[in-house]
Structure 1
Amino acid sequence: MAPPIAYSLIATDLDGTLLRGDDTLSDRSRSALAAAVAAGARHLVVTGRPAPRVQPLLAELGGTGLAVCGQGAQLYDAGTHRMVWSVTLDRELADTALGKIEAEVGYVYAAVDQDGVDGLTLIEPGYEMPHPTLPAVRVPRRDDLWAEPISKVLLRHPYLSDDALAAAARQVVGSMATVTMSGPGTVELQPSGVTKATGLARAADLMGLEPSGTIAFGDMPNDIPMFAWAARGVAMANAHPELKATADEVTLSNEEDGIAVVLERLLEDGRRGPGAAASRA
């Protein structure tokens, strides 16, 4: 019989967390997740990537269940290739918010993730994808970004840091949208009130699971709401200082299989019995 594990739900971010810098999943991480699932846990991807950019990885993981995508704006079912739930960002509001940001910090480069299981990532002239392995379609004008419903807007500034751009955006956007920072060169606007935590909570409810049984892994400030919702939040060694400050634990980096290290320890504690973790503390 498979050994027990302390958490029934393992929520993992992708970029900078589960995936290595080359967008691959290590054999060790794959094995640790498989062992945790065999022990009775569920693995849930909770990512800023839109659903179309997650599908190949879910197939590689053998996942046929739910995935939280688009910073919590999308709940995707890999088994049926359909969106269980999604919320879009009003395009007129997004354009207005973008104008307010530019009035504060000068011209920014923008991109959008379209809604839907086959939605495209559109980028305007001058915008460079932070993850060059992810496909995108360049459009000739900013107005072309608003052609179809969108889940979020991605922003880059010619010289401001991500922290400075995110702070300025929050100040002028207010309640019009949620501003997140999800990776190097990735400041985003998403529907107001939508976070990874709201998406995770919706997925967990459908799975019949609770925050008290959830462990979450992440690396950027957009993971802070997820950490607040889960019973335990584990930041990677390469994580942003803001996330580390809220974490219950800091593990090794994504390049060093930090998630696997924690899961292997939890599985070993399960084999030893309820008092194992306390005796090692």
Structure 2
Amino acid sequence: MAETPRLIATDIDGTLLADDRTVSPRTAAALARITAGGTPVVLVTGRPIRWLELVYDQLAEPLPAICANGAVVYDPVADKVLRADPLDPHLLAEVARRLRAEVPGVSFAVEIVDSRQMRHEAHYPLRWDADLDAIRAVETPEELLAAPAVKLLARAGEQDPDAFLALVAGALEGLAEATHSSYSGLVEISAAGVTKAAGLAWYCARLGIDARDVLAFGDMPNDVPMLTWAGRGVAVANAHRAVLEIADEVTSANSADGVAAYLEQVFGVG
């Protein structure tokens, strides 16, 4: 990427946000100046739509978002889903069948209604959710898998996240995408071909922007497809080793405003 980027794509948690899930004033100001200058910024996240308000409340204006690891493209101004790529119920059932056979004690949750709602098995451990009114336990496995889901979440107690991902991905090879974005032993499953890169590519094509003109930031394995697709992929210093290995460059950590520092240098703002 020789020229100034035409679009900025950034992950949220562990990348744009500090460890306490806040957007620093420096980061918010950098994004505001860049968007005011005419360069679009898009959030590309594993988060569901219902978790975006906590971020938007800290920004000068809500930014377009690619949610659920690429499965949902969202316009916050119109409160409209522009595109969704869910797993259909038949596929969900086959994914669940394979994982129950391969992973002892596995439990599931699903993100439905374009990730505005969540359903989970009674024994699925809830770690954090911003809107408890949007989530509900189901009574039967059939109920869990009855509706299209933009993401299936799988846990099986305390697990090494990378080893657990390898186990799940192996069981689902050729059937669905599996990735992770945390260190808590959670695997996130999407329809085949659905990644952050695919969602971002669709959004950029809509704007007439080529991959080579995109600057992207990330920190976890679910960011790897996006960072390798973009013309310039930048890891924050706190990133997972898989991200550090493929990144074109490394900026300072999320706790040190790494995204803002890099953007200030590229755009001459600060």
TM exceeds 0.5?
A: yes
After superposition, the C-alpha distances for 1:93-133 in whole angstroms (9 at most, x for unaligned) are 2232222123223121211100337x311222232234444
Deviation at 1:221, TM superposition (A): 0.8
Secondary structure in 2 aligned to 1:29?
A: helix
Q: How does 1:102-141 map to 2 (within 5 A)?
A: 102-116=100-114, 119-133=116-130, 135=132, 136-141=135-140
Q: Secondary structure at the match of 1:18?
A: coil
State the match for 2:55 in structure 1.
Answer: 57
**Superposed displacement of residue 148, structure 1:** 2.7
Equivalent position amino acid for 1:149 in 2: P
Secondary structure in 2 matching 1:30: helix
Structure 2, unaligned stretches of length 5 or more?
none
CA contact (8 A) 2:23 2:58 kept: no
Q: Report what 1:204 is aligned to.
A: 204
Deviations 1:150-193 (A, max 9, x none): 11101112132111111011111111111111222331110111
More helix by share: 1
Runs of 4+ in structure 1 displaced over 6 angstroms? none
Query: Does residue 23 of structure 1 match 2:25?
Result: no
The DSSP-based 3-state class of the residue aligned with 2:180 is strand
- Indicate the residue corresponding to 2:214 in structure 1: 214
Structure number with bigger Rg = 1
- 2:34 alignment partner, SS class: helix
- Does 1:167 find its partner at 2:166? yes
Does the CA-based 8 Å contact 1:130-1:184 persist in structure 2? no
Structure 1 residues 13, 42: CA separation in 2 closer, same or farther (over 3 Å shift)? same
Q: Secondary structure at the match of 1:14?
A: coil
Whether contact under 8 Å (1:63, 1:78) holds in the other structure is no
Report the TM-score, using the length of structure 2 for normalisation: 0.90
Q: Which residue of 2 aligns with 1:274?
A: none
What RMSD in Å do the two structures reach over aligned CA positions?
A: 2.1
Is 1:90–2:88 an aligned residue pair? Answer: yes
1:36 to 34, 37, 56: 34
Give the Cα–Cα distance (whole angstroms) in 2 for the partners of residues 102 and 223 of structure 1.
27
Percent sequence identity is 37
In structure 1, what is the equivalent of residue 187 of structure 2?
187
Alpha-carbon distance in 2 for matches of 1:127, 1:256: 34
1:242 aligns with 2:242: yes
Structure 2: which amino acid aligns with 1:137?
A: R
CA distance in 2 between partners of 1:56 and 1:217 (Å): 20
Cα distance in structure 2, aligned partners of 1:258 and 1:55 = 22
Q: How many equivalent residue pairs?
A: 265
